[in-house]
A and B are shown apart, each in its own frame.
Chain A
Amino acid sequence: MTRTVNILDLGARCLGEKALELVRELKRSQDGNLPPYNEDGIRQVVEEMRALFEQNQLEVRATTDGERGLLSGIQLRHACLERNQRCLLAYVHHRMTRIRDYRWQTGSVLPPSFRLSLCEQEIQWFTHYNRSLATYMRSIAPTGLDLTQHLQPPKSLLVEVRCLEDYGEFEMEDGTVVLLHKNTQHYLPRSQCEPLIRQGVLEHIH
């Protein structure tokens, strides 16, 4: 009894609460931005785990020496340790997935706002991932194929676009020049229109 009181003295209301907090934090932020790496929270969980582990060590030694009635306590603490480990791994893994998706959707450059939410190791991981992805994309085709361009296969080669502002002349890859005047409608190759659509000069008509 006295030993469980020690753990309660750590300040946690009950075991595994802090780890669950971490996981909840990530779940709440799924629609929004990635929250900063919660070093504090992780440190606390690791502390808790260390305390539990040490307690367990003591009790295991005591049991081998012959004391009885400690086994349930050891099992409980072990289960708690495993739960904490699972929560921590989930936290780290989820963040990694989010960073990876960010690369696929946005690009290989980390803007400062995003960079702030990552810890050192995560930034390093991101650079490594970039490098591996680039090597792979280069290896597929001689000129390199940007797989992150079209996440869904395009339905057609050409798209219908409407010009929203006067852009002027636009030269396409095969040499034909198109004059992008305001309020004209064109049917042009998708790959060449995409940057202009993203800029807002052209509007995709379905």
Chain B
Amino acid sequence: MVVIDRVKEDFYQRISSDHVLVLVYPDVDSLCACKILQTLFKADNTQYTVVCVSGISQLKTAFTTHHDKVRSVVLINCGGGAKLIELLQPEEHICIFVVDSVRPLELDNVYNKGQVHIVLREGEVLEIPDFDDIYDSDQQAEEDGEEEGEEFFSDEEVEDSVTGGKRRRREGEASYEARRKRHLWRRKREEILYKYSEFNYHSTAASLVLYELAWRLTRDNNELLWLAITGLTEQLLHEKTDREMYVTEMHRMQPHVLRLNRSEEETVSAINTMKINFVEELRLDLYRHWTIYDSLCNSCYTACKFKVWSLKGHKNLLEFLADMGLPLVQCKQRFSAMDVQFRENFRSWIDRSAAKFGLDNMAYGSFSAQIGYKIKLSAADMLLSTTALIENPEKSTEEAFLQALDALSWSNVTKILAGIETAKLQQAAIKTHVRNFIDTHQVVCTGPFVYAYVEEGTPNMKYFSRPLTLCKLARFLREAWISSNKRARDYPFILSAPVDLEKGTCLVAGVPCQTEETRRSEFRKAFTQAADRTQANASFDCFDNCVFEMQMEDRGKFFDALTALCTVC
């Protein structure tokens, strides 16, 4: 069942009286959503348990171990696309609420009355086929279900209608008509289902849905707003949605920001409160916490525009800096340690020079938060730091998840700053890898798509065995490849990296092509079909539709099958 209008009554009030099990996928949007939900629960003294699930099998394990202790389960960004009733087999009294940004949602979940509820934001329109097109409540359908369409014109029937009496003939005709109708209905249903599940995309972020709930409960404050903004920024920077949708959502957040951060000239507000304001953010990762030079070299946008791995590109970059009027010595110093005049004028200089050097989409609208005099973070900084914390290679997924969850509260802002340092290492590792790939020409362009492998034994490989970072590397590599081969923009990009050397598995991530402005990907369908054809040992466990795991030996066959599949389509 879909819960849209009465989110407060149908969702929140139903769960806030029991002990709730919250299952969360480890990515930034889900973490922010979880934190918002935790804050709401704390205010209402609702007991809860938070468990991290990164795949379908983990979801099942967590549910089976915990389910007889709880009555309500909330799934955040996991399970929206899986058949929950079949998979989890919950008992009668258990209610499952799903807050998922992945589309398309599994139809069994949407049309289930009673146990599975999908929570959406008010005003969201779900494009789903009608109930009657998918489910036939007619009893006869099951009886005739085994018959194939070919039997319509079987000779026996003709004989029956001839040898039998008039009544039998009429019965035969009636049943033939019914069967034909059913066959047509079934074919139409298959078509509808195929079209429905063809493309995977993302809709409203889970953190935005929960922020809206908090707002309706009038329990929203700057902290929750900041979490919602971080979740939204992830959608843009991790390319889950397109720019238009991001801008629309941003405009929806603006009134909240203005309402909660009213700056009055007369009253002096405490300096230690958090203040959020709107800024035009540059596509330079972490430049306020890094040196300008490092940030230019390691951010995907600028590195690919300038092609910093080549000598000419590097010279171009230095020219750019010179054009801006920033001495190289200053650029190689930490941003906060630069001379005041450079720091203050940096924004205007870069805007002026960016157009000259072809950096058109350098700026985008975003928000930044400030506490006290020392700590100022932009939404992108927060996002990069949280991603680095979640995918910390030294810790297991669950531990890293809990650490990242801790870091999201502003009383632990030192953890975010530590995360920023890790993020810098990660970015540098990604860029070095991309440079290696380009230099050694390891990116292969087969007809319908472009792919690359991360070899075993490459340094810093530990960063790339996690889905989020692998996708980041894939995007960066793709941008880098496109900067040299413009044609490749029309093709999707697939990257594979080893994840577990003992078991011999590797992770495969896909980045869709960006011909239209939408971010729809057909990877899940294509990958499943190719894996079926080659009988590859692949597990589509991960909730991220563009990522899956398989055995390394099957990789070659898989890519061949995928090539064949894509050439056909």
A160 within 8 Å of B by Cβ?
yes
A176 to B70, CA, bound (A): 8
A178 to B66, CA, bound (A): 8
Name the distance in Å between A193's Cβ and chain B's nearest Cβ: 11
Do A162 and B402 have beta carbons less than 8 Å apart? yes
A128 to B171, CA, bound (A): 100
A44 within 8 Å of B by Cβ?
no
Chain B residues at the A interface, C-beta cutoff of 8 Å: 19, 38, 41-42, 45-52, 65-66, 68-69, 396, 398-399, 401-402, 405-406, 411
A74 to B207, CA, bound (A): 86
Name the distance in Å between B407's Cβ and chain A's nearest Cβ: 12
Name the distance in Å between A14's Cβ and chain B's nearest Cβ: 56
User: Within 8 Å CB of A182, what residues of B?
Assistant: 398
User: Within 8 Å CB of B402, what residues of A?
Assistant: 162, 183, 185
Do B42 and A158 have beta carbons less than 8 Å apart? yes
Name the distance in Å between B202's Cβ and chain A's nearest Cβ: 26
A183 to B45, CA, bound (A): 22
Do B65 and A187 have beta carbons less than 8 Å apart? no
Do A178 and B65 have beta carbons less than 8 Å apart? no
Do B45 and A205 have beta carbons less than 8 Å apart? no
Q: Please indicate which of the listed interface residues A157, A183, A206 has the most CB atoms of chain B within 10 Å of its own CB.
A: A183
Name the distance in Å between A199's Cβ and chain B's nearest Cβ: 19
Do A176 and B47 have beta carbons less than 8 Å apart? yes
A187 to B38, CA, bound (A): 9
Name the distance in Å between B75's Cβ and chain A's nearest Cβ: 15
User: Within 8 Å CB of A178, what residues of B?
Assistant: 19, 47, 49, 69
Do A186 and B47 have beta carbons less than 8 Å apart? yes
Q: Which residue in chain A gives the minimum CB-CB distance to B34?
A: A185
Chain A residues at the B interface, C-beta cutoff of 8 Å: 156-158, 160, 162, 169, 176-179, 181-189, 205-206
A40 to B50, CA, bound (A): 61
Whether A184 contacts B50 in the complex (CB less than 8 A), given A158-B45, A206-B411, comes out as: yes
A162 to B49, CA, bound (A): 9
Contact partner, B66, options A157, A162, A179, Cβ 8 Å: A179
Do B47 and A183 have beta carbons less than 8 Å apart? no
Do B65 and A188 have beta carbons less than 8 Å apart? no
Name the distance in Å between A158's Cβ and chain B's nearest Cβ: 6
Contact partner, B46, options A156, A185, A187, A205, Cβ 8 Å: A187
User: Within 8 Å CB of A160, what residues of B?
Assistant: 38, 42
Name the distance in Å between B70's Cβ and chain A's nearest Cβ: 8
Give me 30 A-to-B residue pairs in the complex whose CB atoms sit less than 8 angstroms apart, sorted by A's number.
A157-B45, A158-B47, A160-B38, A162-B402, A169-B69, A176-B19, A176-B47, A176-B69, A178-B19, A178-B49, A178-B69, A179-B49, A179-B65, A179-B66, A181-B65, A182-B398, A183-B399, A183-B402, A184-B50, A184-B51, A185-B49, A186-B47, A186-B48, A186-B49, A186-B50, A187-B41, A187-B42, A187-B46, A187-B47, A187-B48
Do A184 and B45 have beta carbons less than 8 Å apart? no
The 5 closest A-B pairs by CB, nearest first: A183-B398, A185-B50, A177-B69, A186-B49, A187-B48
User: Within 8 Å CB of B69, what residues of A?
Assistant: 169, 176-179
Q: Please indicate which of the listed interface residues B38, B47, B48, B401 has the most CB atoms of chain A within 10 Å of its own CB.
A: B47
User: 13 other contacts beyond A156-B45, A179-B69, A188-B47, with CB at 8 A cut-off?
Assistant: A158-B42, A160-B42, A162-B402, A169-B69, A177-B69, A178-B19, A179-B66, A182-B398, A183-B402, A184-B51, A184-B398, A185-B49, A187-B48
Q: Please indicate which of the listed interface residues A157, A158, A160, A184 has the most CB atoms of chain B within 10 Å of its own CB.
A: A184
Name the distance in Å between B444's Cβ and chain A's nearest Cβ: 40
Name the distance in Å between B532's Cβ and chain A's nearest Cβ: 35
User: Within 8 Å CB of A185, what residues of B?
Assistant: 49-50, 402, 405
User: Within 8 Å CB of A157, what residues of B?
Assistant: 45
Q: Which residue in chain B gives the minimum CB-CB distance to A177?
A: B69
Q: Which residue in chain B gives the minimum CB-CB distance to A157?
A: B45
Q: Which residue in chain B gives the minimum CB-CB distance to A189?
A: B47
A52 to B411, CA, bound (A): 64
A162 to B399, CA, bound (A): 10
A179 to B401, CA, bound (A): 19
User: Within 8 Å CB of B399, what residues of A?
Assistant: 183
A186 to B401, CA, bound (A): 14
A176 to B48, CA, bound (A): 11
Do A184 and B42 have beta carbons less than 8 Å apart? no
A182 to B65, CA, bound (A): 13
User: Within 8 Å CB of A186, what residues of B?
Assistant: 47-50
User: Within 8 Å CB of B401, what residues of A?
Assistant: 183
A37 to B241, CA, bound (A): 75
Name the distance in Å between A3's Cβ and chain B's nearest Cβ: 70
Q: Which residue in chain A gives the minimum CB-CB distance to B70?
A: A176
Name the distance in Å between B308's Cβ and chain A's nearest Cβ: 40
A184 to B68, CA, bound (A): 17
Name the distance in Å between B115's Cβ and chain A's nearest Cβ: 20
User: Within 8 Å CB of B19, what residues of A?
Assistant: 176, 178
Q: Which residue in chain B gives the minimum CB-CB distance to A205?
A: B406
Q: Which residue in chain A gives the minimum CB-CB distance to B69?
A: A177
A46 to B399, CA, bound (A): 63
Q: Which residue in chain B gives the minimum CB-CB distance to A170?
A: B69
User: Within 8 Å CB of B41, what residues of A?
Assistant: 187
User: Within 8 Å CB of B46, what residues of A?
Assistant: 187
User: Within 8 Å CB of A184, what residues of B?
Assistant: 49-51, 398
A98 to B222, CA, bound (A): 47
Name the distance in Å between A177's Cβ and chain B's nearest Cβ: 5
A158 to B46, CA, bound (A): 8
Contact partner, B51, options A181, A188, A205, Cβ 8 Å: A181
Name the distance in Å between B59's Cβ and chain A's nearest Cβ: 14
